[in-house]
Structure 1
Amino acid sequence: MYSLSVVLTITLAGLIVGTFIGIFLSQRKSGQSQRQVELEKQVLDLQQQQQSYQADVSKHFNHTAELLNQLTESYKDVHSHLATGAQLLAGEQLHTTIKTLAADGSTSKTEQPEQPSSLTPPLDYATTGGTLSEDWGMKKSLVSDERNEAGYPKSPA
């Protein structure tokens, strides 16, 4: 059959080839698992960044709400200060004016703004009906031809 040297050579060659295949497969598998470990670490880092961002946003809006509450309180203090000052400085005159305004809902004659004295209506304004004139600038004969007995424009037939 075969000589001992041929069998040992084939066995040794198979052993060497098997070793190289084993090394190649183990490196490939470890490379994939190493890549998987890197990706898992990256995902965890991104989750931590997202949680940190959400905490920062929440802290920002809480601080904004506190500042708005302080601003509201400051406005209340300013209003109270102005009301107290008006009561002290204007006294009864302010009190009666406020009561008068609350009762009628209108201002007195002296507080009404002055109306401009020279108002002129637009040129196409009909002085008789108080509306815009449809026949402004048209000759009288054309106007009477285009209107029916009731004075309304004739409908197109």
Structure 2
Amino acid sequence: MTENDRCAKVEQYIGEIKGGLRPAMKITVIGMVHSNPKSFAVTLLCDPVDANKDVGLLLTVNFSDKSITRNARIGGKWGREEKNIPYFPFTAGDTFKMELLCEHQQIRVLVDGRQFCDFTHRIQALNLVKALQITGDIKLTKVA
């Protein structure tokens, strides 16, 4: 067993959204939560190289307080956090499927096929959202 096998590896994924985000587009993330997770984040970025640029959606899953926070950053300023959730859908060691459905007014988030929450677009020019970033205590199986 190597040192890496004992330490939980933090997953880091970044992928281009060709042509930018647009209505009717669906992003699917399938993965497995680590056995002792702290958090993971799914981020829709305007610039995958410059992390200080605008963020269309930052969705942070926190296991310690079983919260899921959504926010966006426009012009270098973070907006108001949205925290209301109907239930906490993630379990340590379990697989999950998260779908981000881009609609005209919002991003609809489904977890394991169930409607979970909506996030109203704060960046009006959706095509400026050009990358998907996933980080944290999960092992990705598929991103499409």
Give TM class, smaller chain: under 0.3
Query: Which structure has greater strand proportion?
Result: 2
Which structure has more RCO (C-alpha within 8 Å, separation ≥ 6)? 2
TM-score by structure 1 length? 0.13
Query: Which structure has greater helix proportion?
Result: 1
TM-score by structure 2 length? 0.14
